[in-house]
Structures are given as C-alpha cells and as structure tokens.
Structure 1
Amino acid sequence: MKNNFQAVVVDNKDSNFSVQTKQLGLEDLSAGEVVIKVHYSGVNYKDGLASTPDGKIVRSYPHIPGIDLAGIVVSSEDSRFKEGDSVIATSYEIGVSHSGGYSEYARIPADWIVPLPAGLSLKEAMIIGTAGFTAALSVQRLQDNGLKPENGPVLVTGATGGVGSFGVAMLSKLGFEVVASSGKKEAADYLISIGASNVIGREEVYNGKIKALDKQVWAGAVDPVGGESLAAIISKIVYGGSVAVSGLTGGGAVPTSVFPFILRGVNLLGIDSVYCQMEIRQKLWGRIATDLKPEELSSFIYKEVSLQQLPEELPKILEGGITGRIIVAVE
C-alpha cells in the first residue's frame, strides 16, 4: 500500500471548522486488525451531519467521516480475512468515533467486517449501503412477524430517501403491493419505476389529526420518519400488522395510545442497523445479494463523486432535495 494517501478530514481546531481532502498515513487511522483499500463509499445523513460544526456526530477531531465502505483487504491480523478478500464494512463506530470510509485506506476491527457476498459488486454494495441494509432489516423483521403479500398493501414513508427507496424496491420484488408516501410530487414516476404500486402524499398518511383507532388500511409499514406521522400510521394498521420504524426525521415524540396494540395486536418494531448482530448482518447481506436485490441498481444513483469533490457534496444530503444515493468512487 502507499505510504501516503488521500482522505477527507473534518477538523475543528481552535473552533475553526473545516472539511477538506488531505494526505495521511496509516498511523493517522484508527486501530483495527484489517487494512482495506477502499474502492467505494456512500453519503448518508450521518455523514452530512459530520460535515457540519453542530452535527453532534463526530466524537473527536480531526476525523475521517464515512459510515460505509467497500473494498479489498490489503493486510489482516485476523485469520477470518486475507489479502485480496472483497469486504463490506458499515455502521458500528465507523465514521463516528472510528475513522471512516472517505479515505483511500481504512483500518477496521475484524468483528465489524462482512465478506462481500456473491451476487454483489463493491459498487453495488455501496449503492445499497447502510440505507439499503436498514430497509432490508425492516423487511426481514416485518416478515418475521407474519407479513405476507396476501395480507394487503404495505406503506413506505419517506419513500424518496435511502431507506424508503430501497424499502419500496425490496418489498415490490417480494411481490408486495407497495404504497409509497412522499412529499415530492415530482418523484412519483421515480417511485413507480422502482416498484411502487401507488404513490400518495404525506397528508394521506397524516392530515394533522390522530385517532386512537382509525380505519384499517395497511398490512404493515416501513417508516424512517417517526413522529406524529408514525402515530397516525399505527392507528391505520390492520389487525396483527406491524410497523418497522428506523428514523425520526418527523420527530422523536409519538403521540399514540395503547389501543392499536391491545385491541388490534399491532406490533411496533424498532430497527437498529448500527449494532445489528453479525449473524443477522451476514444473513441479510446474503439476501440483499439475492432475493432482496433491486433491479437496475444504477437507477438509485443520484450522483457519483470523487474524494476531491466530496467536501462540497456532503452538506447537500441535509437539504432534503436528493432522490437516490450519492456514491463516492474512492479508488
């Protein structure tokens, strides 16, 4: 490997916040048993927060962000991995308190690494990334709790975001009737193209009023939004149905009641992809490479950028105008 390499570094020295590409060495990376030549990464909401001085994500400076990465092992002190292995590393402390994927090289603890499954390229793995993995985990949990296509339509909120888009595509591939909810009317054609059977506005999910029990509409839901919208969804889930919640862009407070749970047997499923157990993580990446793999993954790419272009792109993920994924070509 190179003695020096490029990485995007976030710093806040003497309250002078900066995000720029710098030359680093292996000694600048966090500890770990496996050194990876990074080929691709992606841009997630957390990465956007890391690029702002008040994002409250980065634990200490200077720091290399990037919560996702895929690449080739160049050295390993762990017998599970060897030089030349193709691998994925997402979540845990990567890009938060551990140096992340916005670097030509990354040093990662072996316990955080997943072998790249057959059926996925390194680039495809990062098109999917944490967003797609979170969607896959949501789908898996819904299926574990009895969701089947014959049960009825499934709602996906925040459908143009990363989790939402992959939720739509994965559920559709499994044969579900998917109702995609979005505040972007212009994105309807995109959502239909990735598998939505129907596209509705946010107001059809939550119109400002929440009933303890509303008309039963959806057999299940993938919800990365949370807040009052989630309370409205819970009141409209059919008997025995489930909601998989993974985010809080709509707020952290959920003003619901016990009635949907005790009178309709509704399940509220918490989805955490950060510390998901490795056994489940490997199983899900296997499904993502096979029965959950969306068709035409390239259609999910909003933009592909280099490390040098990344500092100016990172804040855009926080502005809410992106449909699809920003992919970082590191190699």
Structure 2
Amino acid sequence: MRAAVCTRAGGPEVLEVRELPVPAVREGWSLVRVRGAGLNRSELRTRQGHSPSVVFPRVLGIECVGELVASTDPRLAEGSTVAAVMGEMGRAFDGGYAEFALLPNDLLMPVRTSLPWETLAALPETYLTAQGALDALDVARGERLLIRGGTSSVGMAAASIAAALGVETAATTRRPHKAAALAADHVLVDDGGPLTIAAWPDGPDRVLDLVGRSTALDSLRLVRPGGTVCVAGSLSGWLIPAFEPIAMIPTGTRLTAFHSDTLRGAAGAAVLQRVVDQVEAGVHRPHVDRVVSLDEIAEAHRHMEDDQATGKVVLVP
C-alpha cells in the first residue's frame, strides 16, 4: 500500500510517500480501506516534533473514513462504512495518511450514508469537536455565541450547528480576506489586541475559543458576567504562560474545555450519524477547502501551516 510517512520531526518535506506492507489483522483490530482522511493542525504539531510520545517514522492522521475489509468486530460486517478518530491514531500507531489503516475496534464508528467520500471525510473530527464543545458550553436558543478561530474547520462547523439551534453568532478571523467565508451574524477581524463586539456591549453569553493560548484570557475578559468560555482548540499553541486561575478568571465566569477523544468510538457514533443525517438533509454544509492526494500531502501541510486554509483540507488516498 502507499502511505505518507513522517520520517522525522521537521518541516513538510519530512513527509514521504512510501510503499508499505498492508497491516496484518490481529485480535481486537480491524483493517479499513481508507477512502478519505481529514487533515488537522495537531498533525502539524506532531510532524514538527511537539508530541514527545511519538516515535518516528510514523504514518500520521488522527481520523479517517472508509470501508472495513477485514473485521474482527462482531458488531461490524466486512464492507461496512466506518469512521474513526483519535485514540492515539497517527501517534501510538499508524493513522489515516495511507490506503489502509489497522485500527482498534473500539475506535470504529459505523456510518449509514450516501455522501461522497471527500464530504464524509470532512466530518468526524471537525463536527464531533464542534458539537461536543457546544454541548460543553450548554449553548441554547436565543443566546449569543462568540467563536474565536471562525475560519478553522471546527469554527465553521460550530457556526453551522449554532445557527441551526437558533443561536446568534459572532466569529473572528485574523485574515480580512477570509471574512466573506464566515456564515455568522457578526464577523470580526482579530488584530491580536483586546477584542470588542459593538453589537454586544454586555459581551457574549458563551465563547468557543479555538485559538487557545493567545486569546483565552481575553475571552474570559470578554464574556458576560456569569458566562462560559470553552477552550477546544489550540491554533496558537497548547500552553497559557503563567496562568493564574484566581487572578485571571473573573468571579462567576466559568471556564471549561472539550477534547474530541471524549466522542470517539461508540460514544461518538450516534452523534456522528446525526451530523451525517443533517448534512444529507442540507442543514449543515461542510466547507472543504481542498481535496489532496498522497502525493500532495507535503504541500497540503504547508498550506495549513501558512494559515491559508479556510475550512477542511481532505486527503483522498
């Protein structure tokens, strides 16, 4: 099989397309023919060497969709359409940047769908993260939601889900030329300074912060008294330096987080099926920035690393 192998930590050039043996099936693991895999910024960080547990060479990819070609899972027949996310995919074992992936059965999520592979591949990590984060925020109809990192794939998915819930949304982008792509009630260009929302002088009720390190403290300042901030992304990095909760979290304001590993496997299957059904019904329209082949994987990483993507980059091996 062909696979994109991260040979060592470094720039996009360390991704090499190689011929590898198709993995041998073993108890508790099933073989998936990968039909599509969404690309994620966490894979950039792993490639850059910021995931200390990862041993190279490694086939990256924390998610994929495809067909079961050899199943050891009594729940799933060979030929079934499945998705998988997280659970150390592309980190402790080889992930979705390949024609085949050997995956633990407890990661497999069966999917009933007629969507094209490139559309289905744009959904699992992105929409499960968006839905899970909005659930963590407990956002409700009529509330005001600020999405920081609005042109990321998760940000665009969250805006779509929130709109369907009847939530008023504002979304940020650091790049003015991307503003037109934001399907939000209010579009804000974030210049790196303290953010203001003229339409909401009292602040948003909820903030979904997908930028993370550089914006989380400002989000805590901005949310209305008693509101909630959920950090569910790390577009600017993982760690908030010198974070002092008592000094930096306003009294009564709630700070929470969401990690997509929460909705993997059986826990995520029903949520993902609901998302797929809504996409098929036209409720959500996932934004695919571009579809790439294995031979284009290094350029795709460069495209994401330069913040050129608006929405999801999808690999179809």
Q: Structure 2 length normalisation: TM-score?
A: 0.85
Aligned-partner Cα distance in 2 for 1:223–1:290: 27
Map 1:297-308 onto structure 2 (within 5 A): 297=285, 300-308=287-295
Q: Is structure 2 residue 191 aligned with structure 1 residue 196?
A: no
**Which of 3, 9, 29 is the equivalent residue of 2:5?**
9
- Partner AA of 1:174 in structure 2: L
Which residue of the partner structure matches residue 246 of structure 1?
232
- Partner AA of 1:224 in structure 2: L
Distance 1:9 1:250, change over 3 A: closer
Shift of 1:259: 7.9
CA deviations 1:7-32 (Å, max 9, x no partner) are 1112239xxx8321111112489985
Aligned-partner Cα distance in 2 for 1:246–1:184: 21
Which residue of the partner structure matches residue 229 of structure 1?
215
Aligned-partner Cα distance in 1 for 2:60–2:27: 15
SS at match of 1:304: strand
Map 1:1-331 onto structure 2 (within 5 A): 5-12=1-8, 18-27=14-23, 33-52=29-48, 54-56=49-51, 59-118=54-113, 122-143=117-138, 147-151=139-143, 153-191=144-182, 195-203=183-191, 206=194, 216-251=202-237, 252-253=239-240, 258=246, 263=251, 265-276=252-263, 278-291=265-278, 295=283, 297=285, 300-330=287-317
Aligned-partner Cα distance in 2 for 1:108–1:225: 30
Structure 1 unpaired stretches of 5+ = 209-213
CA deviations 1:162-208 (Å, max 9, x no partner) are 221111121112221110111111112110xxx30110122597259
Aligned-partner Cα distance in 2 for 1:35–1:257: 45
- Partner AA of 2:148 in structure 1: T
How many residues were matched structurally?
308
Aligned-partner Cα distance in 2 for 1:204–1:149: 30
State whether residues 8 and 64 of structure 1, in contact with CA within 8 Å, keep that contact through their aligned partners in structure 2: yes
Shift of 1:275: 4.5
SS at match of 2:295: coil
State whether residues 241 and 267 of structure 1, in contact with CA within 8 Å, keep that contact through their aligned partners in structure 2: yes
State whether residues 170 and 186 of structure 2, in contact with CA within 8 Å, keep that contact through their aligned partners in structure 1: yes
Shift of 1:97: 1.4
Distance 1:12 1:157, change over 3 A: closer
Aligned-partner Cα distance in 2 for 1:56–1:36: 25
- Partner AA of 1:223 in structure 2: D
- Partner AA of 1:149 in structure 2: R
SS at match of 1:80: coil
Aligned-partner Cα distance in 2 for 1:185–1:225: 16
Shift of 1:247: 2.2
Aligned-partner Cα distance in 1 for 2:8–2:236: 29
Aligned-partner Cα distance in 2 for 1:30–1:114: 19
Question: What is the CA RMSD across the aligned residues, in angstroms?
Answer: 3.0
Shift of 1:118: 4.5
Distance 1:86 1:175, change over 3 A: same
Aligned-partner Cα distance in 2 for 1:230–1:266: 13
Aligned-partner Cα distance in 2 for 1:275–1:150: 27
Distance 1:40 1:273, change over 3 A: same
State whether residues 205 and 233 of structure 1, in contact with CA within 8 Å, keep that contact through their aligned partners in structure 2: no
Q: Structure 1 length normalisation: TM-score?
A: 0.82
Q: Percent identity?
A: 21
Aligned-partner Cα distance in 1 for 2:27–2:299: 28
Structure 2 unpaired stretches of 5+ = none
